[in-house]
Structure 1
Amino acid sequence: MSEAVAVSRRGSVCEILLNRASVHNAFDEHLIAELTGALRAADADPAVRAVVLTGAGASFSAGADLNWMRSMAAASEADNRADSLKLAQLMSVLNFLGKPTIARVNGAAYGGGVGLIACCDVAIGVESAKFSLSEVKLGLVPAVISPYVIAAIGARAARRLFITGEVFDATEARRIGLLHEAVAPAALDEAVDRCLHWLGKGGPVAQGEAKRLALRMAGMTSESQAAVDADNAALIARLRVSAEGQHGLSAFLDKRAPDWAKES
């Protein structure tokens, strides 16, 4: 692993750290590839009973990296589609991982960071954490992560948060189901360890089947998700190269308000 992701073992627990604290653990193509690889390696290791995903520094993940966004703004629709499919693959791998997963939400999560949380089986975060699905402010939508976020918080809450892009706190995140627990920063590790304690009592085969059962009963399978991912990748690619998407991305990168914000 390079510096983007750090993997460590604590007994039968695989701990995966988003390790780009200087940019609030923002996504770029390297982090996406390395995190996908780390998750697959943990899934294939019979000695791993559970996976804990967390962030370095003060944030869990700020979503898309600015330089990555800049390169995608200049890319073709086909390249944007291919890029979006890689992110979709990451989310699918995490969502359908055969081992129990815990999101240890140590700080703020925006955009794709919210997607990672929604893909985990259990999400425990600090009370001070802030969250946002802010893509509409750029003239975009949270297309790739939408199936997982909607599965976590429901369509009604998602409709509001998708269209407002508002920032919400850990209390609200827990109320709508994005977080299972919101605790004081000093109590975060204790809360994660308590969950790991209970996970350690279950049969690993049964846990994998129980996870697949819950997903299947909710209408989610890895096979059906592949078709959804293709459609959502095409949607975000089309929006990124659209006039509104190009204007929104340019405004964001130039640190100015888009025209529609000035008019509202």
Structure 2
Amino acid sequence: MTYQTIEVRIQEPVCFIRFNRAEAKNTVNDRLIDEFHQVLDVCEQSQTITIVVLEGSPDVFCFGADFEELRMKMTSGKPGAYTPEPTYDLWLRLASGPFITISHVRGRANAGGVGFVAASDIVIASQTAQFSLSELLFGLYPACVLPFLIRRVGFQRAHYMSLITQPISVQQAYMWGLVDAYDDQSESLLHRHLLRLRRLPRTGILRYKRYISELNDSIRTFKTLAVSSNQEVFSDPANLERIFRFIETGQFSSNDR
């Protein structure tokens, strides 16, 4: 199949999924989420795919929500035009599906991009990788990202990232456990991991992922709260005004620094 927002390459037992919206900083729109779900359907039904690798461009892994598409939805006047549930469900599938998920991060991962990273089983990064949660600059907060991020790095570190809004380095992310391994030759690092992970049988991976998901089911427990909280902040007119101003001028509101 061909896709508009992602590139998919299968080299069994690995499925490589690359964000392919470089002109929009690999931001997330509805089609991207839908196409990701389609690929994971194939991976779940396959008897041979055991690893899913997420990649972006050299400069940007994924920069979060597509504000342009969000503005179109919010100004359409259609009730229920915006819902974060498909995105949350996608991250649940990455976290608990019957395959090992790896995020290979080069450059910036921001907002929802950190959600993809935090939902992954393994995170490999280059020296250029940076991670940030910029939502509070717009009066929002990363409601859907936080359950996955807290599971990975703990409450206080996720809390700090949400408040500070600035990028943290790959070294800091490694110390906190958001990144598992990094190197200036991250492609070679990824290759070495894949050589090892290819040896694992599919049934073993499936049973292990099911078990580990049951050991820590917080991401399922908090889904309803996360989705409803996300919808609340994205329906606030003041927050939408900040988003629209940023789209038009590239500037935050005057009280933001």
Report the TM-score when normalising by structure 1: 0.89
2:244 equivalent in structure 1: 250
SS at match of 1:70: helix
> Higher mean Cα deviation, 168-177 or 57-66?
57-66
Counterpart in the other structure of 1:41: 42
Report what 1:108 is aligned to. Answer: 108
- What do the CA deviations read for 1:210-246 (whole angstroms, capped 9, x no partner)? 222222212347xxx1x63232222111112224322
2:53 touches 2:101 (CA, 8 Å); kept in 1? yes
The count of corresponding residues between Structure 1 and Structure 2 is: 255
Give a deviation string over 1:66-105, Cα, whole Å, max 9, x none: 312322443669525x521121121112111111111111
CA RMSD of aligned residues (A): 2.0
| Whole-Å separation in 2 of the counterparts to 1:92 and 1:210 | 15
TM-fit CA distance, 1:49: 1.9
- 1:201 to partner: Cα distance: 2.4
- Aligned-partner Cα distance in 2 for 1:173–1:180: 9
Per the alignment, in what secondary structure is the counterpart of residue 127 of structure 1? coil
| Inter-partner Cα distance in structure 2 for 1:229 and 1:134 | 21
Deviations 1:31-86 (A, max 9, x none): 11111211221121111121111113521111112312322443669525x52112
Answering whether residue 206 of structure 2 is matched by residue 205 of structure 1, we say no
Mark the runs of 5 or more structure 2 residues left unpaired by the alignment.
none
Task: Tell me the equivalent position of 1:11.
Answer: 12
Tell me which residue corresponds to 1:25. Answer: 26
Contact 1:58 1:106 in 2 (8 A): yes
Percent identity among equivalent residues? 23
Greater helix proportion: 1
Distance change >3 Å, CA 63–CA 31, structure 1 → 2 = same
Aligned partner of 2:227 in structure 1 is 233
Task: Check the 8 A contact 2:123/2:179 in 1, yes or no.
Answer: yes
Q: Which amino acid aligns with 2:252?
A: A
- Where does structure 1 lack aligned partners over 5 or more consecutive residues? none
